[in-house]
Structure 1
Amino acid sequence: MFRAAAFAVVLSCSLAPAEAQFGGLKLGDLAKRAGISLPNLRKEPISTSLPDARWGDPSQDRFVPPLPRRELTQLQRTANGGFVLQAGYYRFNDQSYCLHAGTHGPGGGDGYLYAPPIGGAKDAVITIVRNSVQHPEIDQHAIQALLWAILSRAKIEDLSNEQQMAASQLLTPRQLAGLNRNVLDVLSSGPISQNLPREVRSVMQAEADLRRMLTTPGTSFAELERVAVLAGMAPAGPGSIRVPNGRWSLHPDGYWIRYLPNSYSNTVVEIWAPVGSPGIGKEYDPATHIAVPGNTSRQRLIQSGRSYAMN
C-alpha cells in the first residue's frame, strides 16, 4: 500500500487535485486502474505538453520573410533577459534546456511549436532561466542539472555544492525554501508503475535515477545526460502529430516564432514581426517559451536569453 506521507506537499502552498500527467494520462486515473486510492497531489513540476501548443500556423510552412535576417541581439534588452521587438526578421542562437528527462533530443526532421510553461514549478523554472542571463559565469551544465533536479523533485539542499551555489544565485530565498520542502516522491515501482505504458515508465524511471544521481557525490554531468537524454532513433510517441521542421507559431502577442534546435542545449530561434503587427513593442521573453515537439518521444526545450556563444 502507498502511504499518504509519501505524497507530502509544502503546507504554505495550496493543494491541487491529482493533476500530474504522464504520457497524457492523469496519475489519479492510473491509480484508479491499479485499484489504488490516492490523496491529492501537486501539479507536475512542468506539465506543458503537445495539447498546450495551440499556436502552430501550417499556412506559413513555406513562408520566408521578405527582409534580410538580423540578429535579435541588436534589439533593446529587458530586465528579464528578453528583447523589445521591432518590425523585422530576427534570429537568435540561444542556450536551451531540456524539460523532459528520459526522452530523446531533437532530430529526425521533427518540428517544434510554441507553448507557455505550465506546472507546479513553473515560477522557479522561469526564474532560473531569466536570471541566468545576469550570471554568465554559471556554466550551462550547472543550470541544466538544476532544472533536472527540480523536474525530478530532488531536494536542493542535497545537491552538490556547485548546484546549490547556482540555485542560491538564480532563485529567491522563498523559492529555495519551497523547493526544499516540496519533495514529492515519484512512484517508479509498484502497482501504478506496473500499469503504465512503457514510455511513461521510462520517463518515471529516468526521473527517479536523476534524483538519486543528483544527490550522489561525484556524479558527473555526462552521467546525468546519459539518463536524461535517450540515445538512438526516437519512435513516434503517444499522441504525436506531424509537425514539419521550421513550422511557425503565431504567438498570442502578435508575432511569428519558430524553433530550429541543433541539440537540446542549443536552439536557433527565428522571429518575424511584420510592419504594423501587434507584436511590435512587445517583449520576447525566452524563459516563457517552451518549444514542444510534434513527436512526444522528444524533449520539451525551454529557451533562454543567453547566447550559445556564451558556452
Structure 2
Amino acid sequence: MKQIVCNLLLGWGVVVGSTGAFAQQGEFGDVLNSLMNTGLIRGMIRNEPITTSMRDVNKRVDLPDSFGNDQTFRPLHRYPRTPTGGWKLVPGFYELRSRSYCIKAGTHAPSNGDGYLYAPLRGRQADIVQSILAGSAVHTEVDQHDVQLLLWAIIARSNFSNMNSRVVGVASTFLNPGQMLRLNSKAMLSTALQLLNSPQLEASLRPIFAAEHQIRQVVGQMNARFEDVEKLAMLAGPALMDNPDIRQGRWSKHPDGYYVRYFPHGYSRTIVQVYVPANVSTVVFDATDDVAVPANTGAQRLALSNVPYDTTGYAPDPPPVVARQQPATREQIPVPPVLPSPTVRYQQICGLVIDTRTRMRISGASIMLGDHEILSDGKGTFRLDSLVAGQTIGFTTGAAGYSADTLEIDVERRSDCQTVVIELKPITKPDSGRLVALNEADLRAGDRIILQNIQFEQSRSELLVPGKSELDKVAAWMQVHTTARVELSGHTSNEGDKSANLALSKERAAACKRYLLRKGVGPDRIKAVGYGQERPIVSNDTPERTLNRRVELRIDRL
C-alpha cells in the first residue's frame, strides 16, 4: 500500500512573478547569489510559519511504552468543554480520536510503527494555525479538506490577496481582520524560481521550490480542488527510520504534568491518549496547542484539533468518576439511588466505596473532607451535602486493611445526586516463603530466590548481559528439575509513579520469562507477574531501597 508524503516544504513562500524571469540572468542573479552567501536564505528557513521540530521535544522516558495498554480510556468527546474548547481532567486515562492535519510538507506521511512525541506549537504563524484548529471545533460545517487546504496555503506562505474566494472564505470564518491582513503580506523575494539556477543552492532544495510554486498557483485558481493540491503536496514512500529507538506508543510528558501519546492513521486521523497521574489534581487538555513531532526526521509533523473523527465503538454510557488504581474488569457496579437535592442552591454527591479486587462494598470506610469525617454505611454508601456547583472538592478515603486514596472532583450543577465510585486497594502482605539460594540442596515448594545481577535498561524492560547470565543458571536448574513450576515476579522501589512502577515490574518479569522460553523451558512451567512497589524487602525510606528493585523466583512446585 502506498504511503503518502508531503512534497510541500514548510517553506520560504517566495512569490514568483513569471517563468520568463526564471530564465533571465545578470545583475539580479549576482545580487541573489550574494544574498545566499550572506545567509539570508538560512534566516528565511529559521523564520518558517511553523517551526516546531524535534529540538522542542522532551525526550526523557518516564513511562514504559506499554504503560496504560491494560487500561480503559475514557472518550473525551463525552465530557463538557472549557470556555476555550479544551477539557478539564482529573487523574485517569482519556482518549480523543482527533482530526489531524499535515503541517510539515516535503516529508513522508505516518506509517505503521512510527513514533511521535509531543511538542508545543511554535512559529511566526502559530497563533493563526491555532485559531484555525480551535475554530474547526466551533464551525463543524467546514469540511476537513477545506481546513487542510487552508493550512497548506499558509505553510507555503501563499499571498492571500491572490487566493481563490473559497480559501479566503474559509480563512475569514476562523481568523480576525488582523490575522487576515498578515496573510496578505508580500513575500520577501519576487522571483523565487531563479534560486534554482544558483550554484549555492543545495540540490535537495531545488524540487521543493518548484513544488511550492506549483501549489501556490493551483490554490490561487478559482476551481482549485483539494485532490489537485494533494497530488502536488504528497508523494509515495515511507520515511527513513533514523530514530528506531523511539517507537509508536511512546509517552511524552507535557509541561502541565500529564502524559500524552499519539497513534496516527495517515496524516488526517490521530488517536491521542492522555494519562493524568494521581499526584496531579486537575489539568486542562487542549489539543490545538500541541504538535505530534515524528521521531523520524523525514516524516510529517501533525497539528491536532479537538474535533473527533469518530465517536463509535466506546461503551454506550460514560462511567461515573472513579478513583481507581486498576481498571474495573468485572460486572458494572450499581451506584447509590439518586436522591433529590435538598435546595436549589446546593448540590449533593452520592458515593459508593468498594474493594477494587473483589468488587465487594466496604462499610465503615472513612471519608475525610477537610476536617469533616463521615463513614460509609452498611451498604458502603455515603453522601456529601451542601456543595456549591462549580467548586472542586478533595477528599481522602481509607479503611482498615486498605491503602488510602485521594480524589478531587468538580461539583456539577444538576437536579439529582452526582455519583462517584471509590475503589480501595487491599494492602498486600509480603510473601511468607523463606529466602534461599538456587543452589541449596533442600529446596522445597514455597521457597523464594532473589535473582542476583538481573539488570535492565533504565525505565525499560530490555535485559542487560549480567541478567542473561543469571537466567542461564535458572534455565539449567529447570532442565535438571523437569517437574518444577516457578513464578517470576518483578518488583520496584517507591520512586516514581505507582501505576508506572507496576507496569514496569510486569514487563520485566515477562522479559525474563521470554528469555527462559528461548532457552527451552516450557511456557506452562513459568508464570510471570509484577507487584510494583507493593512488596518491599527493606524500607523505602532508607538508601537501601534500591534492593527493592529486583526479580524474584518462587518455587510453586518441585
Code of the residue aligned with 1:295 in structure 2: it is: N
8 Å CA contact 1:85, 1:284 repeated in 2: yes
Corresponding residue for 1:96? Answer: 100
1:273 to 257, 273, 276: 276
CA contact (8 A) 1:75 1:86 kept: no
CA contact (8 A) 2:115 2:295 kept: yes
Aligned residue runs from structure 1 range 245-256, under 5 A: 245-256=248-259
Change (3 A) 1:55 1:182: farther
**CA distance 1:84–1:201, shift in 2 (3 Å):** farther
Distance 1:73 1:301, change over 3 A: same
Which residue identity lines up with residue 263 of structure 1 in the other structure? G
Matched, 1:257 2:287: no
1:7-26 equivalences under 5 Å are none
Structure 1 segments of 4+ aligned residues over 3 angstroms from their partners: 31-34, 36-42, 182-189, 191-206
Q: Report if the CA contact (8 A) 2:103-2:303 is conserved.
A: yes
Note closer, same or farther for the CA distance 1:92–1:37 as it changes in structure 2 (3 Å cut).
closer
1:190 aligns to what SS in structure 2?
Answer: helix
Query: Is the aligned partner of 1:109 residue 2:113?
Result: yes
Q: Deviations over 1:70-111 (max 9, x none)?
A: 101233312332111221111111100100122211004211
Residue-pair matches, total: 279
Q: What is the CA distance between 1:259 and its match in structure 2?
A: 0.8
Check 1:155–1:231 CA distance in 2 against 1; reply closer, same or farther (3 A cut). Answer: same
Q: Rg larger in 1 or in 2?
A: 2
Letter in 2 for 1:110: D
Question: CA distance change for structure 1 residues 79 and 160 in 2, over 3 Å: closer, same or farther?
Answer: farther
Corresponding residue for residue 73 of structure 1: 77
8 Å Cα contact 1:53-1:114 kept in structure 2: yes
1:232 aligns with 237
Instruction: Provide closer, same or farther for how the CA distance between residues 148 and 70 of structure 1 changes in structure 2, counting only shifts above 3 A.
Output: same
Q: Specify the code of the residue in structure 2 equivalent to 1:47.
A: T
Query: Structure 2 unaligned runs (5+)?
Result: 1-12, 16-32, 312-558
The aligned runs of 1:39-58 (5 Å cut-off) are: 41=44, 43-55=47-59, 57=61
Aligned to 2:287: 286
Distance in 1 (CA, whole Å) between partners of 2:284 and 2:193 is 40
Give the C-alpha shift of residue 59 in structure 1: 4.2
Alpha-carbon separation, structure 2, partners of 1:54 and 1:193: 38
Change (3 A) 1:194 1:159: same
Provide the C-alpha distance between the structure 1 equivalents of 2:186 and 2:283, rounded to a whole number of angstroms.
Answer: 34
The alpha-carbon distance between structure 1 residues 202 and 83, as it changes in their structure 2 partners (threshold 3 A), is farther
- Are the structure 2 counterparts of residues 60 and 139 from structure 1 closer, same or farther at C-alpha, using a change threshold of 3 Å? same
- The structure with the largest strand share of the pair is 2
From 38, 62, 67, give the equivalent of 2:66.
Answer: 62
User: Kindly tell me: are residues 32 and 71 of structure 1, through their superposed partners in 2, closer, same or farther at Cα, counting changes over 3 Å?
Assistant: farther
Distance verdict in 2 for CA 1:181–1:33, change over 3 Å: closer
Q: Which amino acid aligns with 1:107?
A: S
Equivalent residue of 2:293, what SS?
A: strand
Identity %: 36
Q: Residue 58 of structure 2 contacts residue 253 of structure 2 at CA under 8 Å; is this kept in 1?
A: no
Counterparts of 1:197 and 1:108, CA distance in 2: 31
CA distance in 2, matches of 1:137, 1:174: 24
RMSD between aligned residues: 2.8
Distance 1:204 1:291, change over 3 A: farther
Length-normalised TM-score, structure 2:
0.46
Deviation at 1:221, TM superposition (A): 0.6
Inter-CA distance 43–75: structure 2 relative to 1 (3 Å threshold): same
Aligned to 2:87: 83
Give the Cα separation in 1 of the matches to 2:105 and 2:91. Answer: 37
Structure 1 residue 114, shift from structure 2 partner: 0.5
